[in-house]
């Protein structure tokens, strides 16, 4: 550790010893194991965040330079929680040097330095790579543009191609590899061609999607020796949280960074691997010892969250999976209430029962609304529950809803900022070209796109050459010129030294966006959200006075956690996938019917085992009480009602800890 940083680390030997003594035996072993490959199998509620925090503190107390630590998480929430805990222990100065964040945010930092090796634009002064980051909505627009080029917009949905491209990048397959080694069917051939054109447009716009951030970093580390040596010499200690969620590209990233030291510390729980549909590969955590024969394997098996019956139910249900790393969670807590399994004739009766139980408990003073959570397999299952809650005046919040940054009005102002920062950003350019209305209609936009595609130039270049487009009349070309003048004006204004908040407010006013939303009497919430956006920018600038507009855009592009922080006393509704990492005193698992959960799509052993892991995740969210419900009849998407058997997973919970009954009509 450098002397300057060491002096500002709020740790002494006595305090470090106390921190280690507060851990249980397995946690302490994990925290004291610093060198070599390590896999921590951290069961649900086993205190892994605390263990990770103490381990990093111990590393610093042992003289490890904080700048040599790379710690990747899968969510912003997890990264911020760990950073906050660690800063309380070691102080502010070391935290400035530790590389801790999501895989994507850490890869962005690497790509800012070495992205130019792949042909992305580099700032002449700072030498930082200037790429922009596209979210899912942006990517779908690029695919729609490719579909129009290929005249297949009526044949395939954009989401189909995006899923194909995501899977390809998760496996580190470039378009050429897909075309000649992967594509077997006609559909796959077409998708490989879409992928090729998609990447062409992305590169032309100097843009990367989220999977590019990982894949491009891997390519740089793999193919460019100088860059590889630079980062390997920097990161002597590589750590990954939620290792069970890693895909092949992330796994290769960790391997490349960890070599040649192989101080690779991974934390995960194979029983909670539930993101196979996103490309996660459970075999990565299951085969850890094969990859690293001399690895240390440490199990955290003490659950600090749940009562005995909940822990027992989780242990027993996961035993039915053949492909797993065996562990048995224990708890010092009492058994608590039995697991209540309640069957209903219909989903309406099921929802009425849940509403009645929660309302009775709250009115009796046994709990608050916010102590209760309802978890389901798919979002559509919430509708009937919501209807009953509204009728019963039960406050509720759906977690995992629309992100603040995905709202129309926020995407509009951000698109203006993106274009000002990078004129090559075609997707943002097409969003704002006629927003608010300025006489550049769809016909004109189509002509611009057609010209751009024919001449292999960006939308920006095509707009600049609007006067040369033979099919465009003078009036339309004049409107385009006016729009360009507005952008030039905004760009010059950016150089005048205005505060970022003042500058964004100026753009809102001069672009007409304020007037556009204020004129719509139904859009009061949109105006409020724009005001909230200005407050957010002001806060960002106050906390980061040296940061630029480009830094701000990067920051918000990497926000993947959805929704605002919820402080309202309300029942929480969410999918079981969205519940991962959360905990509640009282949990209702609804819709445990064959064909619903496990899903009808789970036709093979691999998929069924992932469904069972999802059941394990749902069960282990409960701290005190667990209710599981099913209905004999359920409505289908076609409007018909069908009979569904109770889920096979119900039979896997030991009967001695269950209290079950059927409701009568």
Kindly write down the DSSP assignment for every residue of 434-502, as one continuous string. Answer: TSS--S--HHHHHHHHHHHHHHT--HHHHHHTGGG-TTS-HHHHHHHHHHHHHHHHHHHHHTTT--HHH
Q: What is the mean pLDDT of the chain?
A: 92
In a domain, 211, yes or no: no
Instruction: Give residue 11's pLDDT band: very low, low, confident or very high (50, 70, 90).
Output: confident
**Is 46 annotated to bind ligand?**
yes
pLDDT of residue 5: 46
User: Final residue of a domain: which of 557, 576, 601?
Assistant: 557
Last residue of a domain, one of 557, 575, 594: 557
Calculate mean pLDDT across residues 171-196: 95
Sequence-ordered list of residues with C-beta below 8 angstroms from that of 512, at least 6 positions apart, any chain? 436, 438
Q: What is the pLDDT of residue 467?
A: 83
Length of the chain: 665
> Does residue 92 sit in the same domain as residue 241?
yes
Q: Is 620 annotated as a binding residue?
A: no
Q: Are residue 605 and residue 653 in the same domain, yes or no?
A: yes
386 and 447 together in one domain: no
Structural domain range at position 540: 405-557
- The whole-number average pLDDT for the span 481-494 is 90
Token pair for residue 270?
């194979």
Which tens digits make up the pLDDT trace of 570-597? 999 999 999 999 999 999 999 999 999 9
In a domain, 525, yes or no: yes
Question: 627: which strand partners?
Answer: 340, 588
CA–CA distances in Å: residue 283 to residues 244, 286, 322, 509 = 9, 5, 13, 53
At 566, is the pLDDT very low, low, confident or very high (cuts 50, 70, 90)? low
Residue 258 burial class via C-beta count within 10 angstroms: exposed 0-12, middle 13-18, buried 19 and up: buried
Domain co-membership, 439 together with 531: yes
What are the CA-CA distances from residue 520 to residues 99, 523, 583 (Å)?
A: 45, 5, 41
Number of domains comprising the chain: 4
pLDDT surpasses 50 at 564: no
Residue 122 lies inside a defined structural domain of this protein: no
Domain holding 529: CATH number?
A: 1.10.486.10
CA 354: distance to chain centroid? 30
Regarding whether 313 and 293 lie in a shared domain, the answer is: no
When pLDDT is averaged across residues 502-513 and rounded to a whole number, the result is: 94
What's the rounded Cα separation, in Å, for the pair 272 and 617?
6
pLDDT in tens, 378-418: 888 898 999 999 999 999 998 876 678 888 999 999 999 99
CA 85 to chain centre: 21
**Residues 488 and 533 both lie in one domain:** yes
Domain of 100, CATH number, reads: 3.40.50.300
pLDDT of residue 8: 55
Structural contact between residues 181 and 107, judged by C-beta atoms closer than 8 angstroms:
no
3-state secondary structure of 619: helix
Same domain, 584 and 547: no
Tokens 């969620």, residue?
245
For the segment 330-342, the average pLDDT, to the nearest whole number, is 97
**The domain boundary residue, chosen from 525, 557, 589:** 557
Is the confidence at residue 1, as pLDDT, over 50? Answer: no
What is the b/e burial string over 435-464, where b = at least 16 CB atoms within 10 angstroms of the residue's CB?
A: beebebeeebbebbbebbbeeeebbbbbbe
Cα 327 from chain centre: 28
- Give the span between the Cα atoms of 426 and 459, in whole angstroms: 5
CA distance linking residue 539 with residue 537, whole number of Å: 5
Residue 44's nearest CA partner among 273, 276, 265 is 273
Distance from C-alpha of 206 to C-alpha of 222, rounded to nearest angstrom: 22
pLDDT at 2: 46
Query: Using CA atoms, how far apart are residues 391 and 372, in angstroms rounded to an integer?
Result: 18
d(CA 422, CA 428): 9
Domain match, 141 and 277 both: no
- Are 285 and 380 contained in the same domain? no
Is residue 125 one of the residues assigned to a domain? no
424 annotated binding-site participant: no
At residue 4, the pLDDT reads 46
48 is in an annotated binding site: yes
* Residue 121 domain flag: no
* Residues involved in catalysis: 48-49, 241-242, 272, 621
Look up residue 664 and give its DSSP letter. P
Give the Cα-Cα-Cα angle 457, 441, 149 (nearest 5 degrees).
Answer: 40
The answer to whether 105 is annotated as binding is: no
DSSP 17: H
- The predicted structure's pLDDT at residue 401: 63
Do 498 and 434 have their domain in common?
yes
137 within some domain: yes
Tokens for 552, please give them: 């701000």
Query: Residues 72, 265: contact at Cβ < 8 Å?
Result: no
Residues 337 and 414 in one domain: no
Structure tokens at 480: 């385009």
pLDDT single digits (tens) 374-388: 999 988 889 899 999
Domain of 145, CATH number, reads 1.10.10.160
Say what percent of the chain tops pLDDT 90. 73
345 appears as a binding residue in the annotation: no
Q: Check whether residue 349 and residue 427 sit in a common domain.
A: no
501 in a known ligand binding site: no
39 pLDDT band (50/70/90 cuts)?
Answer: very high
Residue 326 lies in a domain: yes
Which of 265, 280, 119, 272 has the alpha carbon at shortest distance from 203? 119
Residue 47 among known ligand-binding residues:
yes
Q: Is residue 565 scored above 70 in pLDDT?
A: no
Determine, yes or no, domain membership for 213.
no
């Amino acid at each position: 550790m450098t002397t300057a940083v060491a002096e500002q680390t709020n740790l002494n030997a006595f305090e470090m010893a106390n921190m280690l003594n507060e851990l249980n035996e397995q946690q302490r072993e994990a925290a004291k194991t610093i060198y070599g490959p390590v896999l921590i199998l951290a069961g649900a509620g086993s205190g892994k965040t605390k263990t990770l925090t103490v381990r990093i503190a111990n590393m610093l107390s042992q003289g490890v330079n904080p700048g040599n630590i790379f710690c990747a998480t899968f969510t912003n929430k997890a990264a911020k929680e760990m950073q906050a805990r660690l800063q309380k222990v070691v102080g502010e100065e070391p935290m400035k040097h530790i590389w801790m964040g999501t895989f994507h945010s850490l890869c962005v930092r690497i790509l800012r330095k070495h992205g130019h090796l792949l042909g992305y634009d580099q700032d002449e002064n700072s030498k930082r790579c200037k790429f922009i980051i596209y979210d899912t909505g942006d990517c779908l627009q690029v695919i729609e543009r490719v579909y129009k080029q290929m005249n297949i917009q009526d044949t395939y949905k954009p989401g189909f191609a995006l899923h194909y491209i995501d899977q390809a990048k998760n496996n580190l397959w470039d378009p050429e590899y897909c075309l000649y080694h992967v594509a077997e069917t006609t559909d796959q051939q077409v998708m490989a061609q879409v992928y090729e054109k998609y990447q062409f447009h992305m590169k032309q716009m100097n843009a990367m999607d989220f999977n590019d951030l990982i894949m491009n970093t891997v390519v740089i580390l793999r193919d460019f020796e100088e860059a590889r040596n630079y980062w390997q010499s920097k990161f002597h200690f590589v750590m990954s949280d939620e290792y069970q969620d890693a895909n092949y590209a992330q796994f290769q990233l960790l391997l490349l960074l960890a070599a040649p030291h192989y101080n690779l510390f991974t934390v995960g729980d194979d029983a909670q691997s539930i993101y196979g549909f996103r490309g996660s590969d459970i075999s990565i955590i299951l085969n850890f010892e094969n990859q690293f024969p001399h690895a240390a394997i440490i199990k955290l098996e003490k659950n600090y969250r749940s009562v005995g019956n909940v822990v027992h139910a989780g242990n027993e249900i996961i035993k039915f999976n053949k492909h797993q790393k065996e562990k048995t969670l224990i708890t010092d807590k009492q058994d608590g209430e039995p697991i209540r399994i309640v069957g209903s004739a219909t989903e309406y009766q099921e929802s009425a029962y849940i509403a009645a139980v929660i309302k009775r408990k709250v009115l009796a003073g046994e709990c608050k609304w916010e102590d209760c959570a309802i978890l389901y397999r798919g979002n559509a299952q919430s509708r009937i529950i919501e209807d009953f809650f509204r009728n019963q005046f039960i406050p509720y919040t759906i977690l995992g809803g629309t992100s603040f940054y995905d709202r129309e009005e926020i995407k509009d102002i951000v698109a203006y900022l993106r274009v000002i920062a990078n004129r090559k950003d075609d997707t943002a350019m097409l969003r704002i070209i006629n927003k608010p209305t300025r006489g550049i209609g769809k016909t004109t936009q189509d002509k611009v796109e057609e010209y751009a595609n024919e001449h292999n130039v960006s939308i920006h270049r095509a707009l600049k050459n609007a006067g040369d487009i033979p099919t465009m009349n003078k009036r339309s070309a004049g409107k385009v010129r006016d729009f360009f003048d507005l952008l030039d004006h905004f760009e010059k204004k950016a150089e005048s030294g205005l505060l970022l908040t003042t500058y964004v407010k100026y753009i809102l006013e001069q672009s007409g966006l304020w007037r556009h939303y204020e004129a719509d009497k139904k859009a009061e919430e949109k105006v409020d959200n724009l005001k909230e956006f200005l407050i957010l920018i002001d806060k960002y600038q106050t906390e980061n006075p040296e940061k630029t507009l480009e830094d701000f855009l990067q920051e918000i592009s990497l926000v993947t956690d959805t929704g605002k922080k919820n402080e309202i006393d309300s029942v929480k509704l969410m999918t079981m996938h969205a519940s991962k990492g959360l905990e509640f005193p009282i949990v209702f698992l609804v819709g445990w019917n064959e064909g619903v959960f496990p899903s009808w799509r789970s036709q093979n052993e691999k998929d069924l085992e992932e469904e069972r892991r999802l059941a394990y995740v749902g069960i282990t969210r409960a701290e005190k009480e667990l209710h599981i419900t099913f209905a004999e009849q359920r409505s289908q998407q076609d409007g018909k009602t069908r009979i569904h058997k109770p889920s096979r997973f119900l039979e896997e919970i030991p009967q001695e800890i269950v209290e079950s009954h059927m409701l009568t009509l």
